[in-house]
Amino acid sequence: MKFEDRLFPEAGLSWDLERLYGKLTEAKQIATLKTARLTSVEKAILRGLLCSYSPKEIAAHLHWTLSSLRVELTRGLYRYIETLTAHDLNAIKNWRDIVRWLEETEYKIPQSKQDWSEAPEIFSFYGREKELAQLEKKIIQDKYRLITMLGMGGIGKTALAVKFAQKNKQEFQYIIWRSLRHAPLLKELLRDLLGFFSNSNLPTTIQEQISLLIEYLRFSRCLLILDNLEALLDVNHLAGFYKEKYSNYSQLIRRVAEETHQSCLLLTSQDEPVDLLFIRANKVESLQIGSLEDAAKEILKEKGLSNSNCWQKLIERYQGNPLALKLVSATIQELFGGSVVKFLEANTELGVIVPSFFQELLTEQFERLSNLEQEIMYALAINRQPISLKQLQEHFKPQVGSSKLLHTLTSLKRRSLIEVISEVNQTSFTLQPMVMKYILTEEKDRAISLSIARE
Ligand SMILES: Nc1ncnc2c1ncn2[C@@H]1O[C@H](COP(=O)(O)OP(=O)(O)OP(=O)(O)O)[C@@H](O)[C@H]1O
Ligand SMILES: [Mg+2]
């Protein structure tokens, strides 16, 4: 790629460059009576003019003198543009005429472009006023460049991101939503994103492509939402490391966080990616998304459950997790005619039924754990009550060092699978009730499959 090809790429945000190049090539051929194409220098000068750079500024970018640029313009581009826009020859008196004339053509792309095709539709949305206000403060007011929403599966990260973007869409020229659930390679994602901004040719290397994306983020105010980042994280590592073929995502995230631009990358993830711990930039924040709290009652109301005086208890059992509450509401309707009291009375030993879809969610999460993480989960489940680090250590023979244990517990905390209970003189650890129920069922299954294997 020639150096001038990299100049003024942001013109592609507002102009259909490929078509414009094509039409100007035709005009050039008419003017010169030759089959010449537009040169890369002519294209660069055109992009500069379209971005409202003066000939003097463009000359400086090209390392030319102003007078040689003027000669180039009067011999070439000005004449082609006059032909294209059906003006008389030599009608251009001022370089600003060019943008004015071209703006009236079909080559100008209407501004404010949004692509929500991959975002889920949100039918009902309750509460989250505090989180929305927090997002608005950080993203709209303080212009944060990177926000990561973290929280366990089903807690409502995606719904919140959709709500935020819908509510604030007038603040952005571009809104792009992409789900990473199907784990695209970075080069595929970049091709897709850059194609959204402009149909001009892609730079060759990933680094150049990231630079171009950041150029767009600098030129326009964009909201880029990448949902389900956890799909790129490794199965067997501690929380937050990328699978090998996705490790270059780290560069994208880091550069978007650290370089100057006016846009925001909003990530959602069940696990916190390690990059975030190493990014040294202001305007970067992680938000932990927790219980839906009181607003969860609206979900139960919507599902037509009775005994509203017991709803609080139900909400607490399911950690205010909207997905879990929706799923368990269906069970309550089906098996207990909507009676929360009957459901709570009839409930299993732990008082928590793991809805089957949730089971899939947790299975996915569980498969991502390292061996030690899995062992800790089993140990916490068997104990049922919160236990201290020391008690946990006694479970492991041979012993596991306390720093390694702590490290792994932090990782589990980051995955929103365990709860840390801090009291005055001791910290203890336990599983979220729903996760505990799941592990105990798994443990039973594991024991059964082991005994079958032995037979
Ligand atoms: N504030 C809310 N009010 C009503 N329903 C909600 C709310 N938040 C989430 N939900 C519903 O709960 C379910 C799970 O929410 P969502 O998909 O946003 O969770 P998530 O945290 O993105 O989960 P995952 O980590 O699996 O992607 C969805 O059906 C969603 O519509
Ligand atoms: Mg989600």
**C-alpha 125 to ligand 1 mean position (Å):** 9
Task: Tell me the best of 150, 152, 158, 329 to mutate to test the pocket of ligand 1, counting ligand atoms within 8 Å of each CB and taking the most.
Answer: 158
Q: What pLDDT score was predicted for residue 450?
A: 47
CA distance 138 to 141: 6
**C-alpha 268 to ligand 2 mean position (Å):** 7
CA distance 233 to 183: 10
The answer to whether 50 touches 14, Cβ cutoff 8 Å, is yes
Find where tokens 């005086």 sit.
Answer: 309
Report pLDDT digits (tens) over 272-302: 888 777 777 789 999 999 999 999 999 999 9
Ligand 1 pocket residue status of 8, Cβ below 6 Å: no
Taking the CA atoms of 335, 341, 342 and 343 in sequence, report the sign of the dihedral they define: positive
Task: Tell me the best of 323, 363, 434 to mutate to test the pocket of ligand 1, counting ligand atoms within 8 Å of each CB and taking the most.
Answer: 323
Ligand 1 pocket residue status of 155, Cβ below 6 Å: yes
Nearest to 158 by CA among 170, 166, 364: 166
**C-alpha 378 to ligand 2 mean position (Å):** 26
Task: Tell me the best of 129, 131, 155, 366 to mutate to test the pocket of ligand 1, counting ligand atoms within 8 Å of each CB and taking the most.
Answer: 155
Ligand 1 pocket residue status of 154, Cβ below 6 Å: yes
One-character DSSP codes across 377-444: HHHHHHH-S-EEHHHHHHT-SS---HHHHHHHHHHHHHTT-EEEEE-SS-EEEEE-HHHHHHHHHHHH
Residue type, 361: L
- Residues 111-133: b if buried by 16+ CB within 10 A, e if exposed: eebbeeeebeeeeebbbbeebbe
The answer to whether 196 touches 237, Cβ cutoff 8 Å, is no
For range 333-342, the mean pLDDT? 86
Q: What pLDDT score was predicted for residue 72?
A: 92
CA distance 284 to 265: 10
Instruction: State the pLDDT confidence band at 347, using cuts at 50, 70 and 90.
Output: low
* Residue bearing the CA closest to ligand 1, atom 15: 156
Give the neighbor-by-neighbor strand order of the sheet with 146-150.
Answer: 113-115, 174-179, 222-227, 264-269, 146-150, 284-288
**C-alpha 179 to ligand 2 mean position (Å):** 9
Q: Are strands 146-150 and 284-288 parallel, antiparallel or unpaired?
A: parallel
Instruction: State the pLDDT confidence band at 112, using cuts at 50, 70 and 90.
Output: low
The answer to whether 182 touches 231, Cβ cutoff 8 Å, is yes
User: 287 pairs with which residues across the strands?
Assistant: 149
**405 or 200, which is more confident:** 405
- Count CA within 13 A, CB hemisphere, residue 362: 24
Nearest to 222 by CA among 178, 158, 157: 178
Q: Is the pLDDT of residue 453 over 70?
A: no
Atom of ligand 1 nearest to the CA of 270: 25
**C-alpha 119 to ligand 2 mean position (Å):** 10
Q: Is the peptide bond before 398 cis (omega within 30 degrees of 0)?
A: yes
Q: What percent of the chain shows pLDDT beyond 90?
A: 44
Atom of ligand 1 nearest to the CA of 292: 1
Ligand 1 pocket residue status of 128, Cβ below 6 Å: yes
Q: What pLDDT score was predicted for residue 424?
A: 66
Q: Is the pLDDT of residue 442 over 90?
A: no
Report pLDDT digits (tens) over 189-237: 999 999 988 877 788 999 999 999 999 999 889 999 999 998 898 866 6
Atom of ligand 1 nearest to the CA of 123: 31
Atom of ligand 1 nearest to the CA of 151: 21
**410 or 58, which is more confident:** 58
- Count CA within 13 A, CB hemisphere, residue 90: 0
Regarding pTM above 0.75, the answer is no
Q: What pLDDT score was predicted for residue 257?
A: 94
Q: Are strands 284-288 and 222-227 parallel, antiparallel or unpaired?
A: unpaired
Q: Are strands 222-227 and 264-269 parallel, antiparallel or unpaired?
A: parallel
Task: Please name each of the domains of the chain with its CATH number.
Answer: 3-103 (no CATH), 113-288 (3.40.50.300), 293-347 (no CATH), 358-454 (1.10.10.10)
CA distance 203 to 221: 22
Ligand 1 pocket residue status of 126, Cβ below 6 Å: yes
- Tell me the pLDDT of the chain averaged across its residues: 86
Burial label, 438 (beta-carbon count in 10 A; 0-12, 13-18, 19+): buried
47 token code pair? 């992009």
